[in-house]
Amino acid sequence: MERNLTLIALFAALIAALGLIPKFTLASGVPISAQSLGIMLCGTVLGAKRGTLAVLLFLGLVALGLPLLAGGRGGLGVFNGVTVGYLIGFPVAAFVTGALAQAWRDRGGWIFPSVAALIGGVVVMNILGIAGMAVKLDKTLVEASLLATPFIPGDVLKCVLAGLITQGLQKARPGLLQA
């Protein structure tokens, strides 16, 4: 019981900390923040329920006014901004990623958690994010998806990393993923 609560809290802190460390840049020059990697890890490591709770806790603190989003953003304003669809997508992405990762858990390796992160953290996240932009900006879905395209290669890379990191965590702390 205590451990569930502390894991949820510490992974919420992990999402925030990953947004604070400097961005790394892709070969193509598009900067990517590690924050959405944190969302994926919540799903692949904590599973659907705890992962979603960790993300909701993180978003709750952002709403309360802590500058925890990548780039030091936060407060209620971000929930009125163009990217609100992505914020709504965060917990949904963690849930879908977590549910798939849990279902595929006994297969091991990094591929399965990576695919789970791809479906939850990229496909589901972008569907909600793009829909949010379309509503906020009064645009068609096609127009809105143009704004999201530059970030897709980075997102796909992050899925692979999420799988590798999940596998690494499992090797370093066996038993972490069974809980």
Contact set with another protein (CB under 8 A): 1-3, 5-14, 16-18, 20-22, 24, 34, 37, 41, 45, 57-58, 60-61, 64-68, 71, 73-82, 136-138, 143, 147, 161, 164-165, 168-169, 172-173, 176
Q: How far is the CB of 84 from another protein (least distance, A)?
A: 10
Taking the least distance from each CB to another protein, the nearer of 8 and 119 is 8
Q: How far is the CB of 135 from another protein (least distance, A)?
A: 9
Q: How far is the CB of 8 from another protein (least distance, A)?
A: 6
Whole-angstrom Cα distance, residue 167 to residue 27?
25
Q: How far is the CB of 167 from another protein (least distance, A)?
A: 9
Whole-angstrom Cα distance, residue 32 to residue 124?
19
Taking the least distance from each CB to another protein, the nearer of 45 and 48 is 45
Whole-angstrom Cα distance, residue 123 to residue 116?
10
Whole-angstrom Cα distance, residue 87 to residue 89?
5
Whole-angstrom Cα distance, residue 175 to residue 160?
22
Taking the least distance from each CB to another protein, the nearer of 16 and 48 is 16
Give the angle subtended at the CA of 130 by the CAs of 48 and 93, to the nearest 5°.
Answer: 5
Secondary structure element (H or E) that encloses residue 129, with its range: helix 125-137
